[in-house]
Amino acid sequence: MQPTAKCVVQGASWTETFVDISRDAYSIAGVLVEPEAAWREAIVICGSLLDHRKHMYRDLAMLARVLAQAGIATLRFDYSGFGESAGQAEQADLASFVDDAEACLCWLRAERPASSISCIGVGLGAIIAAHAVARSEPTPLIACQPLWQIETIQRGPFQRKPLYDGRIVDVNGYRIGQRLYRQLTANEWRQNFPPTAHIGAPTLLMHVQDGPSADAAQIYQELLERSGRAVVVHAFRAARFWLSAELPLPVAEVCRCICEWLPGYG
Amino acid sequence: MDSFQHEAPMIAESRGWLVVPSGHLAVSTVATVDFGGTNAATTLRRGVLMLPGTGLRNGPQDLFVLFSRQCASWGLACLRVDYSFYGDSWPACDQAMQISTLRAEARAALDTFQADFALDELILLGLCTGGEIALSLAQEMPNVVACVLWSTAAVYSPLTPAKRARHAFTMLRMYGRKLFYLATWRKLLRGGVDGAMVRRTLTKRQVAPDSEKQSALGISKRRSGARRVPMLFVYGERDPDRRQAVQYYRRLFPDTAAITTVPKADHNFSSVAWATQATKLTKEWLSRQGLLGRLQQETDHAEGRYGLLSK
Tell me the DSSP string of A98-163.
HHHHHHHHHHHHHH-TTSEEEEEEETTHHHHHHHHHHHSSS--EEEES----HHHHH-STT----E
What are the chain A neighbours of B189 within 8 Å (beta carbons)? none
Question: Using one digit for the tens of pLDDT, what is the confidence trace for A237-262?
Answer: 765 443 344 456 678 888 889 998 98
CB atoms B272 and A241 under 8 Å: no
Q: What is the predicted pLDDT for the residue at A194?
A: 74
Distances (CA, A) of B68 to B15, B51, B81: 13, 12, 12
List the one residue out of B32, B61, B4, B112 whose CA is nearest residue B274. B61
- A4-261 adopts what CATH topology? Rossmann fold (3.40.50)
Share of chain A above pLDDT 70, in %: 81
Distances (CA, A) of A73 to A44, A77, A137, B54: 9, 14, 19, 28
CB atoms B183 and A244 under 8 Å: yes
Least confident among B99-108, B169-178, B222-231, B262-271:
B222-231
Share of chain B above pLDDT 70, in %: 75
Nearest CA in chain B to A14: B90
| Residue B41 reports pLDDT greater than 80 | no
Give the closest-approach CA distance of B16 to chain A in angstroms: 4
Nearest CA in chain B to A6: B17
Tell which wins on pLDDT, B40 or B139.
B139
What are the chain A neighbours of B61 within 8 Å (beta carbons)? 172-174
Question: Using one digit for the tens of pLDDT, what is the confidence trace for A214-239?
Answer: 788 888 888 888 877 788 998 877 65
Give the closest-approach CA distance of B118 to chain A in angstroms: 11
Interface of B with A in 58-87 (CB under 8 A): 58, 60-63, 65, 79, 86-87
Give the closest-approach CA distance of B161 to chain A in angstroms: 22
CB atoms A173 and B272 under 8 Å: yes
| Residue A198 reports pLDDT greater than 90 | no
CB atoms A157 and B173 under 8 Å: yes
Give the closest-approach CA distance of A31 to chain B in angstroms: 9
Quick one: pLDDT band at residue B39, thresholds 50, 70, 90?
very low
| Residue B300 reports pLDDT greater than 90 | no
Average pLDDT over residues B34-57: 77
Q: Are B22 and B308 in contact (CB under 8 A)?
A: no
Average pLDDT, chain B: 79
Quick one: pLDDT band at residue B5, thresholds 50, 70, 90?
very low
DSSP, collapsed to helix, strand or coil, labels residue A184 as helix
Q: What is the predicted pLDDT for the residue at B236?
A: 93
Q: What is the predicted pLDDT for the residue at A6?
A: 56
Quick one: pLDDT band at residue A53, thresholds 50, 70, 90?
confident
What are the chain A neighbours of B92 within 8 Å (beta carbons)? 9
Quick one: pLDDT band at residue B10, thresholds 50, 70, 90?
confident
Quick one: pLDDT band at residue B48, thresholds 50, 70, 90?
very high
Q: Tell whether A1 is within 8 A of chain B (Cβ).
A: yes
Quick one: pLDDT band at residue A28, thresholds 50, 70, 90?
very high
* B65: nearest CB among A7, A84, A158: A84
Nearest CA in chain B to A82: B62
Quick one: pLDDT band at residue A197, thresholds 50, 70, 90?
low
Q: Are A16 and A75 in contact (CB under 8 A)?
A: no
Quick one: pLDDT band at residue B1, thresholds 50, 70, 90?
very low
What are the chain B neighbours of A241 within 8 Å (beta carbons)? 183, 187
Q: What is the predicted pLDDT for the residue at B36?
A: 62
Q: What is the predicted pLDDT for the residue at A47?
A: 93
Distances (CA, A) of A106 to A117, A128, B255: 10, 15, 58
Give the closest-approach CA distance of B211 to chain A in angstroms: 29
Q: What is the predicted pLDDT for the residue at A118?
A: 92
Give the closest-approach CA distance of A91 to chain B in angstroms: 12
- ∠ at Cα A31 (A29, A33), nearest 5°? 165
Q: Tell whether A244 is within 8 A of chain B (Cβ).
A: yes
Quick one: pLDDT band at residue A156, thresholds 50, 70, 90?
very low
Which regions of chain A does DSSP assign to beta strands (E)?
A: 6-9, 12-23, 26-35, 41-46, 72-77, 116-122, 141-144, 163-165, 168-171, 174-177, 203-208, 231-236
| Residue B151 reports pLDDT greater than 90 | yes
Provide the sign of the torsion angle of the four alpha carbons B62, A182, A216, A211, taken in this order.
Answer: positive
Nearest CA in chain B to A214: B183
Would you give the DSSP letter of residue B15?
Answer: E
CA B132 to CA B102: how far, in whole Å?
Answer: 11
Share of chain B above pLDDT 90, in %: 28
Distances (CA, A) of A97 to A29, A84, A112, B79: 13, 14, 23, 27
Least confident among A187-201, A220-234, B126-140, B179-193:
A187-201
| Residue B305 reports pLDDT greater than 50 | no
DSSP bridge pairs for B125: B50, B148
CB atoms A1 and B79 under 8 Å: yes
Question: Using one digit for the tens of pLDDT, what is the confidence trace for A56-91?
Answer: 888 899 899 999 989 999 999 999 999 999 888 888
CB atoms A173 and B86 under 8 Å: no
Average pLDDT over residues B181-193: 77
CB atoms A211 and B183 under 8 Å: yes
CB atoms A173 and B17 under 8 Å: no
CA B91 to CA A247: how far, in whole Å?
Answer: 22
How many residue contacts between A and B have a Cβ separation below 8 Å?
Answer: 108
Q: What is the predicted pLDDT for the residue at B169?
A: 81
| Residue B148 reports pLDDT greater than 90 | yes
Average pLDDT over residues B249-265: 89
Q: For chain B, which domains are there? A: 10-155+224-300 (3.40.50.1820)
Q: Domain locations in chain A?
A: 4-261
Least confident among B16-30, B187-201, B257-271:
B187-201
Average pLDDT over residues B127-152: 91
* B271: nearest CB among A4, A9, A173: A173
Q: What is the predicted pLDDT for the residue at A242?
A: 38
Average pLDDT, chain A: 81
Give the closest-approach CA distance of B304 to chain A in angstroms: 10
Q: Tell whether A237 is within 8 A of chain B (Cβ).
A: no
CA B201 to CA B175: how far, in whole Å?
Answer: 10
Q: Which of B61, B171, B180, B262 to mutate to test the interface with A (most CBs of A within 10 A)?
A: B61
Distances (CA, A) of A124 to A46, A50, A213, A244: 9, 10, 11, 14
DSSP, collapsed to helix, strand or coil, labels residue B221 as helix
What are the chain B neighbours of A75 within 8 Å (beta carbons)? none
Q: What is the predicted pLDDT for the residue at A189?
A: 76
Tell which wins on pLDDT, B37 or A28.
A28
Quick one: pLDDT band at residue B92, thresholds 50, 70, 90?
low
Average pLDDT over residues A148-171: 65
Quick one: pLDDT band at residue B215, thresholds 50, 70, 90?
low
CB atoms A83 and B116 under 8 Å: no
What are the chain B neighbours of A48 within 8 Å (beta carbons)? none
Q: Which of A26, A48, A84, A164 to mutate to test the interface with B (most CBs of B within 10 A)?
A: A84
Q: Are B48 and B68 in contact (CB under 8 A)?
A: yes
